[in-house]
């Protein structure tokens, strides 16, 4: 079982879109759990889970009540992908953030939860955790439990800033936790080869000594079909396998595997 957490400090760069679509590909290769720890719950909505259902159990129940995984995990929400399960989120997770402030070892709750329920979690080949932008206590739970953190950058003026800020902040936290750096990859999303900014940004990352080794060679193109994956509740490999964005994410999965991340 490998745990991968997707992060950066900037919103709207494609973290959730990458998590969702990479998960679609992985679900054809093994068993995967996607875990939404973002109160916005975009990943949960992408899979078609009804996050407003009165009886739904979510990440909030895990963090506040230690609810057992068998009660929280939603099995196969996408019918074409039997091997994909989800722990969903909802807006209530905002309150949880406040409740955690005074809790001891508050950054380790998810880590200990997985350890305490390892028999359950070991059924998965991968656990893919989607965060929201920033360094909240809940996000830190995801970053800390991850074997690998994968950063995502879009193409915009301040995209690199989001990546560098994340790297700076997390490396400082790692010193506090006496842990080794687990940031392992950087993926560029929304690439448009016609724009000079796209090419300039790739060059910038290639020439940046802190980031060049993290850079995944394959970039994800900007495609309307990628937007549709959320509305259709189906990852791109199910929705339109011939789309070049699907082929790109397949290649990215291969690169991540070669690097020992997947």
Ligand X SMILES: Nc1ncnc2c1ncn2[C@@H]1O[C@H](COP(=O)(O)OP(=O)(O)O)[C@@H](O)[C@H]1O
Q: Is residue 237 involved in binding ligand X (CB under 6 A)? A: no
Q: Burial letters for 138-166: b for 16+ Cβ neighbours within 10 Å, e otherwise? A: bbbbbbbbbbbbbbbbbbeeebbebbbbb
* DSSP secondary structure of 179-202: ----EEEEEE-SB-TTSHHHHHHH
Q: Is residue 140 involved in binding ligand X (CB under 6 A)? A: no
* Cβ closest to Mg ion, residue 42 vs residue 47: 42
Q: Is residue 17 involved in binding ligand X (CB under 6 A)? A: yes
- From the list ligand X, Mg ion, none, which binds 11 (C-beta under 5 to 8 Å, kind-based)? ligand X
- Token pair recorded at residue 133: 């932008």
Q: Is residue 16 involved in binding Mg ion (CB under 5 A)? A: yes
- From the list ligand X, Mg ion, none, which binds 220 (C-beta under 5 to 8 Å, kind-based)? ligand X
Please answer whether residues 56 and 89 qualify as being in contact, where contact means their C-beta atoms are separated by less than 8 angstroms: no
Distance in angstroms (rounded) separating the CA atoms of residues 116 and 72: 15
Q: Is residue 14 involved in binding ligand X (CB under 6 A)? A: yes
| Contact mark string toward ligand X, 142..181, x via CB under 6 A | ----------------------------------------
* Cβ closest to ligand X, residue 93 vs residue 220: 220
Biggest CA-to-CA distance, the chain: 50
Q: How many residues bind ligand X (CB under 6 A)?
A: 17
- From the list ligand X, Mg ion, none, which binds 217 (C-beta under 5 to 8 Å, kind-based)? none
User: What end-to-end distance do the CA atoms of the chain give, in Å?
Assistant: 9
Contact positions with ligand X (CB under 6 A) in 178-197: 189-190
Q: Burial letters for 210-234: b for 16+ Cβ neighbours within 10 Å, e otherwise? A: ebeebbbebbbbbbebbeebbeebb
- From the list Mg ion, ligand X, none, which binds 190 (C-beta under 5 to 8 Å, kind-based)? ligand X
What lies within 8 Å, CB to CB, of 23 at 6+ separation is 32, 34, 84, 128, 235
Q: Is residue 222 involved in binding ligand X (CB under 6 A)? A: yes
Any idea how long the chain is? 262
**Which of 49-57, 65-73, 162-170, 215-223 is the region at the interface with ligand X (rule: CB under 6 A)?**
215-223
Chain residue whose CB lies nearest Mg ion: 16
Question: Phi/psi at 6 (nearest 5 deg)?
Answer: -100, 130
User: Which listed residue (128, 230, 239, 243) binds ligand X by CB under 6 A?
Assistant: 230
Angle made by CA atoms 94, 51, 8, in degrees to the nearest 5: 50
Sites of contact with ligand X (CB under 6 A): 11-17, 42, 189-190, 220, 222-223, 226-227, 230, 245
Sites of contact with Mg ion (CB under 5 A): 15-16, 42
């Amino acid at each position: 079982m490998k745990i991968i957490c997707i992060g950066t400090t900037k919103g709207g760069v494609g973290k959730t879109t990458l998590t969702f679509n990479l998960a679609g590909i992985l679900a054809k290769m093994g068993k995967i759990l996607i875990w939404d720890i973002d109160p916005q719950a975009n990943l949960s909505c992408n899979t078609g889970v009804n996050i407003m259902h009165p009886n739904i159990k979510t990440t909030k129940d895990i963090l506040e009540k230690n609810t057992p995984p068998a009660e929280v995990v939603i099995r196969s929400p996408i019918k074409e992908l039997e091997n994909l399960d989800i722990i969903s989120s909802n807006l209530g997770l905002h309150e949880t953030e406040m409740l955690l402030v005074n809790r001891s070892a508050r950054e380790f709750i998810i880590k200990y939860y997985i350890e305490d329920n390892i028999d359950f979690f070991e059924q998965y080949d991968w656990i893919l955790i989607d965060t929201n932008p920033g360094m909240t206590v809940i996000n830190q739970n995801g970053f800390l439990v991850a074997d690998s953190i994968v950063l995502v950058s879009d193409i915009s003026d301040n995209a690199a800033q989001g990546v560098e800020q994340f790297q700076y902040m997390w490396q400082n936290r790692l010193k506090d936790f006496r842990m080794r750096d687990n940031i392992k990859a950087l993926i560029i999303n929304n690439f448009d080869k016609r724009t000079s900014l796209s090419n300039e940004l790739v060059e910038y990352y290639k020439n940046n000594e802190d980031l060049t080794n993290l850079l995944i060679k394959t970039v994800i193109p900007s495609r309307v079909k990628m937007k549709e994956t959320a509305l259709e509740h189906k990852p791109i490999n199910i929705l339109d396998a011939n789309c070049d964005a699907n082929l790109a994410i397949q290649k990215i999965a291969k690169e991540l595997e070669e690097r020992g991340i997947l």
